């Protein structure tokens, strides 16, 4: 088959691809990241590129203006390659892969050497057994003689039992084959790596001499939008570094449903698996290189994430997650070799994927409950993970009940005209003066604005509502205002003008955007409301509301309440817990007690299916106003007089 060279600018990266390959597919193969959230359907309009030289075939689309087409602009996902090409990716179509370490959403995760303690259960007590997922133990074995003729392997087992007081572990044939020569060359001084595999202890590795100080692990939160990972010194219980990058699966769809559908296409599951595995391996490689850690000394990994992400990480078919009766292949997964999932650490290193609850309440919810201690609280508490797939857990030490709110990716920057992820140039705080309606904003990285992220949209909606620029239904005011304009598609609000933006276009919020955001907030609020009502309680009975997710320090709780995203409670009851999923994964990496506790939590959580609840649609429809159709639910809300 004929192949062509495609060069992408400003990255200046080239790749050869087959004739009739899409530009988006070529970009993915070249490691060039183009914004695309519709799985290549040509309906999001985010992947606009400029063909500077060469021949392409573009499918018809209404997403481009005549002026754009005349300039060579096309959608990368529905345009195929038919000659050598030179492609320019404009700023608004570039997808920044890495999240800046200066991003305050990850404050506290980037400390150079953070001391940490493993989570312990209420009955946890000190034992002679090791605590982390993997642990190294230095042994000086007594040499065999005519009075002590125990075999080499049994000699190791005996010394482990004497030192740690644990039963004889299991091990692999590869370890046994090398044992005779290794022990004698090392003068019977060795280091063994022990790993926990359910009720069994495994002797993973045998090394000559004392290498017990060199044992490292990784913990990961595999999010639909963002993948976060930490390198942990398992010997000294220190976080050495953290990385967060955007999930490359976004090129195949912005939410779990679109990715499940894509997985059913030819090679779809393999592509999705490779995308997430590459992200994990990139984080591992970068952090190991930065901290001069040999990957052979990385012996354990713990991953959390929603159920679909766990399936795709392990290349397990997620088809039946979205088909009634919505049953995943597995919620509780055994400890396995990381290599089986394509993760590049020590070839015998272990991978533990935390336990989930159901198709739409995953291991990230389990880890979140573990990390914030909701299961130990005496009073009624609520955990809300505001993300593409919003997860809500209500309860205390006596019970836990959870529901999934299909909020969609609007607060993650998808499905809205100028939405973007919370990366450099994203408008993340907005203030509108009530008298002259001037807009003040701040961006991540203090750079020129490229778009608006979730916390920015929450601020904008609350500010437009309170200032009278938007009514309760989400319609923009008919009053004369320099910021409210109209085009062929309807009215829109200008947050930043083209002269001040990095993309040389107005950064706007349209009435269609407002509708999408309204539906997202209604999904979360109505899910919380139904869950509280289902157990016969009221919002006032909730003593703490733990907020987890990517909004970070930028989320204004008052604004979130004013638009009806969160219940109207005193701000002192809201507690932002950051990435609770990653914190839970770290706890499990460091503590066998935490793994056991997380599995107990997963088994304890009752899944509440909102779709079969008769009152859910009524509650959802009632929440499709700002803040709500029933203002008695939001007594603190006041419109502009």
39 close to 253: Cβ distance less than 8 angstroms? yes
What is the rounded CA–CA span in Å between residue 508 and residue 505? 9
Backbone angles phi, psi at 462, to 5 degrees: -65, -40
In the chain, where the domains are located = 3-93, 134-208, 216-353, 374-409+518-633, 419-510
Cα distances (angstroms) measured from residue 202 to each of 135, 193, 250: 11, 8, 37
Q: What is the pLDDT of residues 163-192, one digit of tens each?
A: 988 877 889 898 999 999 999 999 999 999
Quick one: pLDDT at residue 115?
43
Give the mean model confidence (pLDDT) for residues 272-296: 96
CB-based burial of residue 467 (10 Å sphere; 0-12 exposed, 13-18 middle, 19+ buried)?
middle
Q: How far apart are CA 635 and CA 31, in angstroms?
A: 51
Beta strands 298-305; 336-337: pairing state: unpaired
pLDDT band at residue 106 using 50, 70 and 90 as cut-offs: very low
7-20 per-residue burial string, b: 16 or more CB within 10 A, e: under 16 = bbeeeeeebebeee
Cis peptide before 419 (omega within 30 of 0): no
Span 435-474, pLDDT tens digits:
777 899 999 888 999 999 889 999 999 999 998 899 999 9
Question: For 367-382, what is the mean pLDDT?
Answer: 96
**How sure is the predictor about 1, in pLDDT bands with cuts at 50, 70 and 90?**
confident
Question: pTM for the whole thing?
Answer: 0.85
Give 476's DSSP letter: B
CA distance 119 to 128: 17
DSSP code per residue over 419-455: B--SSTTEEEEEEE-TTT--EEEEEGGGPPP-EE-HH
Rounded to the nearest angstrom, the gap between the alpha carbon of residue 383 and the centroid of all alpha carbons in its chain is 16
The CATH architecture one would assign to domain 134-208 is Roll (3.10)
Mean pLDDT of the chain: 88
Class level of CATH domain 374-409+518-633: alpha beta
Residue-level pLDDT at 553: 57
Q: How many CA atoms lie within 13 A of 483 on its CB side?
A: 24
User: Which CATH architecture fits 3-93?
Assistant: Roll (3.10)
Q: Tens digit of pLDDT for each residue in 558-616? A: 999 999 999 999 999 999 888 899 999 999 999 999 999 999 999 999 999 988 888 99
DSSP assignment of 347-403 equals TT-EEEEPP--SSSS-HHHHHHHHHHTGGG-SS-EEEEEESSSEEEEEE-SS-EEEE
Integer Cα distance of 548 and 386 in angstroms: 6
CB neighbour class for 112 (10 Å; exposed up to 12, middle 13-18, buried from 19): exposed
Q: Which of 374-388, 471-485, 614-628 has the lowest mean pLDDT?
A: 471-485
Residue 152's pLDDT is what? Answer: 95
DSSP character at residue 167: P
Segments in 422-551 forming alpha helices (H): 454-466, 511-534
Residue 97's pLDDT is 55
- Identify the pLDDT of residue 355: 97
Query: Which distant-in-sequence residues (6+ apart) come within 8 Å of 148 by Cβ?
Result: 142
The answer to whether the CB of 65 falls within 8 A of the CB of 7 is no
**Residue whose pair of structure tokens reads 């309906």 in the numeric block:** 43
- H or E stretch at 492: strand 490-496
* Residue-level pLDDT at 130: 40
Rg (CA), the chain: 27
According to the 3-state scheme, what is the secondary structure of 10-74? CCCEEEEEECCCEHHHHHHHHCCCECCCCCCCCCCCCCEEEEEECCEEECCCCCCCHHHHHCCEE
Residue 466, by phi and psi: left (phi above 0), alpha (psi -120 to 50) or beta? alpha
Same CATH fold, 374-409+518-633 and 216-353? yes
Count of CB atoms situated within 10 Å of the CB of 484: 18
Helix, strand or coil for residue 312? helix
State residue 262 phi and psi, 5-degree precision.
Answer: -65, -35
Tally Cβ neighbours within 10 Å of residue 91: 15
What percentage of the chain carries pLDDT values higher than 70? 92
Burial label, 86 (beta-carbon count in 10 A; 0-12, 13-18, 19+):
middle
- The class (CATH top level) of 216-353 is alpha beta
């Amino acid at each position: 088959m004929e192949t062509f060279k495609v060069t992408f600018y400003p990255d200046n990266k080239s790749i050869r691809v087959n004739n009739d390959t899409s530009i988006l597919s070529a970009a993915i193969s070249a490691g060039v990241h183009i914004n695309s959230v519709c799985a290549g359907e040509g309906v999001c309009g985010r992947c606009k590129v400029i063909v500077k030289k060469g021949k392409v075939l573009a499918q018809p689309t209404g997403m481009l203006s005549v002026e754009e087409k005349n300039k060579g602009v096309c959608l990368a996902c529905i345009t195929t390659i038919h000659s050598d090409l030179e492609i320019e990716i404009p700023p608004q179509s570039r997808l920044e892969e890495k999240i800046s370490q200066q991003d305050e959403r990850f404050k506290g995760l980037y400390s150079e050497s953070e001391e940490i303690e493993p989570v312990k259960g209420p009955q946890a007590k000190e034992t002679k057994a090791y605590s982390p997922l993997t642990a190294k133990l230095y042994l000086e074995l007594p040499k065999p003689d005519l009075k002590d003729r125990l075999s080499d392997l049994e000699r190791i087992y005996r010394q482990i039992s004497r030192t740690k007081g644990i039963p004889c572990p299991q091990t692999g044939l590869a370890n046994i084959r090398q044992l005779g020569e290794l022990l004698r060359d090392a003068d019977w001084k060795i280091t063994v790596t022990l790993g926990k595999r359910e009720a069994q202890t495994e002797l993973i590795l045998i090394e000559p001499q004392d290498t017990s100080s060199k044992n490292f692990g990784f913990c990961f939160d595999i999010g639909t939008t963002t993948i976060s990972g930490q390198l942990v010194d398992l010997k000294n219980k220190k976080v050495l570094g953290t990385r967060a990058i955007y999930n490359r699966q976004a090129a195949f769809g912005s939410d779990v449903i679109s990715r499940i559908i894509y997985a059913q296409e030819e090679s779809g599951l393999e592509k999705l698996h490779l995308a997430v595995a590459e992200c994990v391996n990139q984080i591992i490689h970068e952090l190991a290189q930065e901290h001069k850690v040999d990957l052979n000394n990385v012996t354990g990994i713990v991953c959390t994430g929603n159920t679909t992400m766990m399936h795709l990480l392990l290349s397990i078919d997620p088809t039946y997650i979205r088909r009634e009766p919505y049953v995943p292949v597995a919620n509780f997964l055994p400890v396995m070799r990381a290599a089986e999932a394509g993760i590049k650490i020590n070839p015998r290193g272990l991978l533990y994927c935390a336990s989930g609850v159901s198709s739409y309440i995953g291991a990230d919810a389990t880890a979140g409950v573990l990390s914030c201690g909701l299961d130990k609280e005496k009073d009624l508490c609520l955990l809300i993970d505001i993300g593409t797939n919003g997860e809500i857990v209500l309860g205390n030490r006596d019970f836990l009940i959870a529901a999934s709110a299909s909020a969609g990716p609007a607060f993650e920057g998808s499905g809205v005209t100028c939405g973007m992820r919370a990366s450099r140039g994203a408008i993340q705080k907005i203030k509108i003066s009530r008298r002259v309606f001037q807009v003040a904003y701040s961006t991540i990285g203090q750079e020129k604005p490229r778009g608006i992220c979730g916390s920015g949209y929450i601020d904008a909606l609350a500010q437009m509502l309170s200032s009278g620029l938007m009514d309760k239904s989400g319609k923009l005011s008919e009053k004369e205002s320099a910021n409210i304009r109209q085009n062929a598609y309807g009215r829109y609000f200008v947050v930043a003008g083209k002269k001040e933006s990095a993309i040389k276009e107005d950064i706007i919020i349209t009435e269609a955007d407002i509708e999408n955001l309204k539906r997202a907030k209604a999904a979360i609020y109505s899910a919380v409301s139904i869950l509280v009502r289902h157990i016969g309680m009221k919002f006032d009975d909730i003593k703490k509301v733990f907020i987890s997710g990517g909004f970070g320090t930028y989320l204004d709780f008052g604004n979130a309440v004013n638009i009806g995203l969160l219940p109207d409670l005193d701000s002192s009851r809201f507690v932002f817990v950051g990435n609770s999923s990653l914190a839970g994964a770290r706890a499990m990496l460091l503590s066998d007690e935490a793994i056991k506790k997380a599995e107990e939590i997963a088994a304890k959580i009752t899944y509440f299916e909102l779709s079969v609840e008769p009152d859910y649609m009524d509650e959802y429809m009632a929440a499709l106003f700002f803040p709500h159709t029933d203002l008695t639910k939001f007594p603190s809300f006041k419109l502009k007089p």
